[in-house]
Amino acid sequence: MLLGAHVSIAGSIAKSVDRAQELGCTTFQIFTRNPRGWRAGKLRDEEVEEFRRRRREARYEVVVAHMPYLPNIASPVKEGWERSVRSLVEELRRCDALGIEYLVCHIGSHLGKGVEVGTSQVVRAVERAIGEADPKCVLLLENMAGQRGSIGSRFEEIKEILGRLSFGDRVGVCLDTCHLYAAGYDVRSATGLEETLRSFDELVGIRELKVLHLNDSKGGLGSRLDRHEHIGLGNIGKEGFRRIINHPKLRRLPMIIETPEDERGDYSRDLGVLRSLYEGPAG
């Protein structure tokens, strides 16, 4: 089971490997830089070498990175869009330097200009970024929760984006369970999960799904509320996650939690719950 958490890089990127090991992770996700600003310090050679060495010694097959918070590749505003594309190019290059397999990027918001405008901006951004960076790292577009102005909360929108890319083989999808539920996909129930996966496979293709973000949802079904909750304490619930992590189409994917750390629990708690729900290798 490839199960992990989004861990901190405080002190150095290499320390993220130690933090993942302490949690018993078999995969993990990081920001390669401060996620709350636009500027990124240049990666030092020794920092890259140390991260690669520790990862190699810890035998992590798959590591995932996540884009910072500020970029919006769907933006219709030229200055913001250009800045977002530059950030995406830089992150792809940083991932390649670190040997990271996947970079997750929120699809973003059209800021009131409409889905078609936003979709076109996303396609342009991805085409330009991959053309400039020429990465080995695979870019993963993450589904949105259906917030006002967002793109990619519906599988039809993800299909449209991927279908217009000439670099399609270098772009995949990351599905977030909280976002799915908030957008109206009932991954809590057995029939709802099957219908969700059937729809995704028919519209996008299950082969495009590379990573899962496992987060319970504070909001109800179709609430459009992007609020993560501890595993089992939200509206998806323990039995919902039991079905998700053991589903034959999902069980071999890297799974990352991005759950809260508060008085009710932390990553150790949520990883423990998921491990207790895992039913072992498929026959």
Q: Report whether pLDDT(113) > 80.
A: yes
Residues 16, 35, 227, 27, Cα dihedral to 10°: -30
Report residue 281's pLDDT band, with 50, 70 and 90 as the boundaries: low
> What's the confidence (pLDDT) of residue 282?
57
Range of the domain at 174: 3-277
Q: Active-site residue 33, yes or no?
A: no
Selected catalytic residue, list 94, 179, 188, 230: 179
Q: Active-site residue 110, yes or no?
A: no
- Let me know if residue 149 belongs to a domain: yes
Q: Report whether pLDDT(250) > 90.
A: yes
The number of angstroms, rounded, from the C-alpha of 227 to the middle of its chain's C-alpha atoms is: 15
Selected catalytic residue, list 6, 93, 188, 213: 213
Are 113 and 80 contacting, i.e. CB atoms less than 8 angstroms apart? Answer: no
Amino acid identity, residue 192?
A: G
Considering the chain, what is the average pLDDT of its residues? Answer: 97
DSSP characters over 70-127: S--TT--SHHHHHHHHHHHHHHHHHHHHHT-SEEEEE--B-TTS-HHHHHHHHHHHHH
- Let me know if residue 261 belongs to a domain: yes
Cβ partners under 8 Å of residue 55, min gap 6 = 17, 63, 99
Q: Active-site residue 228, yes or no?
A: yes
Q: Report whether pLDDT(93) > 50.
A: yes
Q: Active-site residue 258, yes or no?
A: yes
Selected catalytic residue, list 6, 106, 110, 188: 106
User: How far is Cα 278 from Cα 251, in angstroms, rounded to an integer?
Assistant: 9
Q: What are phi and psi of 46, to 5 degrees?
A: -70, -30
- Three-class DSSP category at 64: strand
Selected catalytic residue, list 46, 69, 252, 264: 69
Selected catalytic residue, list 36, 39, 148, 207: 36
Report residue 167's pLDDT band, with 50, 70 and 90 as the boundaries: confident
- Let me know if residue 282 belongs to a domain: no
Q: Report whether pLDDT(39) > 90.
A: no
DSSP secondary-structure letter at 207? G
Q: Report whether pLDDT(251) > 50.
A: yes
User: What pTM value is reported for the model?
Assistant: 0.97
Report residue 283's pLDDT band, with 50, 70 and 90 as the boundaries: very low
- Let me know if residue 283 belongs to a domain: no
Q: Active-site residue 69, yes or no?
A: yes
- Let me know if residue 38 belongs to a domain: yes
- Let me know if residue 216 belongs to a domain: yes
Percent share of the chain, pLDDT over 90: 95
CATH of the domain at 160: 3.20.20.150
- Let me know if residue 166 belongs to a domain: yes
The pLDDT tens digits for 168-226 are: 889 999 999 999 999 999 999 999 999 999 999 999 999 999 999 999 999 999 999 99
The average pLDDT across 247-265 equals 97
Q: What is the number of structural domains in the chain?
A: 1
Are 166 and 160 contacting, i.e. CB atoms less than 8 angstroms apart? Answer: no
- Let me know if residue 115 belongs to a domain: yes
The pLDDT tens digits for 133-154 are: 999 999 999 999 999 999 999 9
Amino acid identity, residue 253?
A: L
Selected catalytic residue, list 90, 91, 101, 142: 142
Report residue 40's pLDDT band, with 50, 70 and 90 as the boundaries: confident
> What's the confidence (pLDDT) of residue 212?
98
Percent share of the chain, pLDDT over 70: 99
> What's the confidence (pLDDT) of residue 168?
81
Selected catalytic residue, list 258, 266, 269, 278: 258
Selected catalytic residue, list 101, 226, 229, 270: 226
